[in-house]
Chain A
Amino acid sequence: MSAIFKREFKTYFTSPIGYIVLAMIFGLSGYYFFMYNLADGYADLSYVFSSVLTFLMLLVLPVLTMRLMSDDKRQKTDQALLTAPVSLTGIVLGKFFAAFLLFAVGISIMLVFAVIIATQITPDWLVVAGNFIGLLLLGGMIIAIGLLISCLTESQFVAALGTFLASFALLMLDSVGSMLSSSTVVVAITDFLSISQRYSNFTSGLMQYDDIVFFVSTTALFLFLTVRVLDRKRWN
């Protein structure tokens, strides 16, 4: 697992992908941080966190995950991975954590912003922590979805587009729910599955067990499905 993790993480920086992704995150969030927090003098980082980064995540994470599995299949390097004494879970986790680490490095720029604000006024650290953790959990889930979709296709483009659409749909889920508000069953379901609601709890500094468990377990579920898809491919 560690060999795959190391290789995938390094590959982000032997190709332009790692640099592009980091540049996009740093550049855009830096721009909004400057405009909103520095120029206008707001101490609250929530806006940069919850709006800018959530939007960025939809663009950036599909790029991070698109080639993780599809490229191995296209180049037939999966033959080296699957015939090595490594479990499928090890392969999937190695790739997952490589993308996750890069994403974590990218969003940790927010901690730098928080420290900059802290030189002027004490920010609400709980909100900062909640935003950061919420973003990590949400990102982890989308990466797991991306990994699963990347496993289903040999084309990087299809993988990226699929991941974008899937995560977009998930984030839009509760607005669909409120549109159909006449049906209480639908609302109950969309409320339970609603990612943006659970995520917004974090952004206001509320860290609840059930939200954490929700994100961690859905991430685990998608990783498990990835392993199953990989395994199933060996049978037919």
Chain B
Amino acid sequence: MINVQNLTKRYGSHLAVDNISFQVNEGEILGFLGPNGAGKSTTMNILTGYLSSSEGNVSINGHDILEEPNEAKSNIGYLPEQPPLYLDMTVREYLDFVFDLKQCNFNRQKHIGEICRLMQIEHVYNRLIKNLSKGYRQRVGFAQALIGNPPVLVLDEPTVGLDPNQIIEMRALIKNLGKHHTVILSSHILQEIEAVCDRIIIINDGKIVADDTASALSEKYSSDRRLMARIAGDEKRVTDILTHIAGVAEVICYGEKEDGVYEYVLEPQDGADFRRALFTALSKEGYPLLGLRSMEMSLEEIFISLTREQLPQTTIRKGGKRK
């Protein structure tokens, strides 16, 4: 459906998108994930024909965006980061305008009515866009993308500005749209991508650093069998015992969680399984092991570990989960 080949975008000497390639199949919901300035919006702007690439090809439904721009563009509905709204128009006038602009040839009233119902903007239909709240503007922008029923939807941070209930509704809506549309969705909210998307592309510094399903990603990056253990007893002494267990590469203490009970994260050496050795060592010294669980990497942690160089230290330490 969407085919991106060796896409590169330079702004002067700055490389915004660096030779990325990917395909999106029909009916797929692809999540585009990356920190601010990673090149998400630039890529989306190129996909939709707003910007031209410096190198590489983009084809939408078999139409090259540069060679057959009108055919390619009529296959795409685009919601940019900032919805492209004419503030001096009413919602009705605006959607009518978009309907004409996209040269749609079905029943205007019915089509726009359906979209307004779907986006729940019927009751602001006759109001000036300038007087709408950010959430409503976002929805009018989304409605604009849906006009003409394009098979491909490109949504740049569609839930920005919505309240939590609306965000949940919006995600359900996108998921639902994904049954009949090919959707590319960008976000820096990881739960959103995890909840909505079939496939995730993590982009950092203009490059694709990961491209897989959410579950495959967390499997791939959590194979290191890190363990979280709760052990009662003196912190220094226990740490000493733990570091001497064969197969343990690193021990980090997360502090006192209960009275006299400390939590430790154990990093294995080359994926070694040291659970038995751990039990034996602790029982020999008389320190009770109160809890032990493996630490699956969440999408958030995968994201952080893949894009770490770009993030300030404080973000990495969020929640005290990472060393």
Contact = CB atoms under 8 A, between A and B. Distances in A.
A82 interface: yes
A191 B50 CA distance: 42
B88 A83 contact: no
B100 A3 contact: yes
A83 B73 contact: yes
Contacts of A11: 86, 88-89
Given A234-B50, A235-B52, A236-B11, A77 B84 contact: yes
B106 to A, nearest CB: 15
Interface in A63-101: 75-87
B277 interface: no
Contacts of A87: 69-70
B86 A85 contact: no
A7 interface: yes
Contact of B86 (A6, A77, A82, A236): A77
B118 to A, nearest CB: 19
A14 interface: yes
B50 A79 contact: yes
B50 A85 contact: no
A4 interface: yes
**For this complex, into which size category does the number of interface residues on chain B fall?**
20 to 34
Interface in B48-103: 48-52, 54, 69-71, 73-74, 76, 78, 80, 82, 84-89, 93, 97-98, 100-103
Interface in B37-55: 45, 48-52, 54
A3 B78 contact: no
**Residue of A79, A81, A234, A235 contacting most chain B CB atoms (<10 Å):** A79
Contacts of B88: 11, 14-15
Contacts of B11: 236
B52 A7 contact: no
Given A2-B100, A86-B101, A236 B74 contact: no
A44 B170 CA distance: 67
Given A14-B89, A236-B11, A85 B80 contact: no
B84 A78 contact: yes
Contact of A83 (B48, B85, B87, B89): B48
Interface string A36-77: 000000000000000000000000000000000000000111
A4 B101 contact: yes
B100 to A, nearest CB: 3
Does more than half of chain B's interface fall in helix, strand or loop, or is it mixed?
loop
B90 to A, nearest CB: 9
A79 B78 contact: yes
A7 B94 CA distance: 9
A82 B50 contact: yes
Contacts of B54: 235
B144 interface: yes
A83 B87 CA distance: 19
Contacts, number: 75
A37 to B, nearest CB: 39
Interface string A1-39: 011101100110011000000000000000000000000
Contact of A7 (B69, B76, B82, B97): B97
Contacts of B101: 3-4, 80-81, 84, 86
A79 B84 CA distance: 6
A93 B278 CA distance: 77
B103 A85 contact: yes
A84 B102 contact: yes
Contacts of A75: 84-87
Contacts of A79: 45, 50, 78, 80, 82, 84
B12 interface: yes
B70 A86 contact: yes
A236 B45 CA distance: 12
User: Which of B78, B82, B100 is packed against the most chain A CB atoms within 10 Å?
Assistant: B100
Contacts of B82: 76, 79
B84 A85 contact: no
A75 to B, nearest CB: 7
A11 B88 CA distance: 8
Nearest to A86: B101
A83 B97 contact: no
Interface of A: 2-4, 6-7, 10-11, 14-15, 75-87, 234-236
11 contacts: A4-B101, A14-B89, A15-B88, A76-B82, A77-B84, A77-B85, A78-B50, A79-B50, A85-B102, A235-B52, A236-B12
Given A78-B50, A85-B69, 18 more contacts: A4-B101, A7-B86, A14-B88, A75-B84, A75-B86, A76-B82, A77-B86, A78-B84, A79-B82, A80-B78, A80-B98, A83-B48, A84-B101, A85-B70, A85-B74, A86-B103, A234-B50, A234-B51
Interface of B: 11-12, 45, 48-52, 54, 69-71, 73-74, 76, 78, 80, 82, 84-89, 93, 97-98, 100-103, 144
Which 4 pairs, one residue from A and one from B, show the smallest C-beta to C-beta distance?
A3-B100, A80-B84, A85-B74, A85-B70
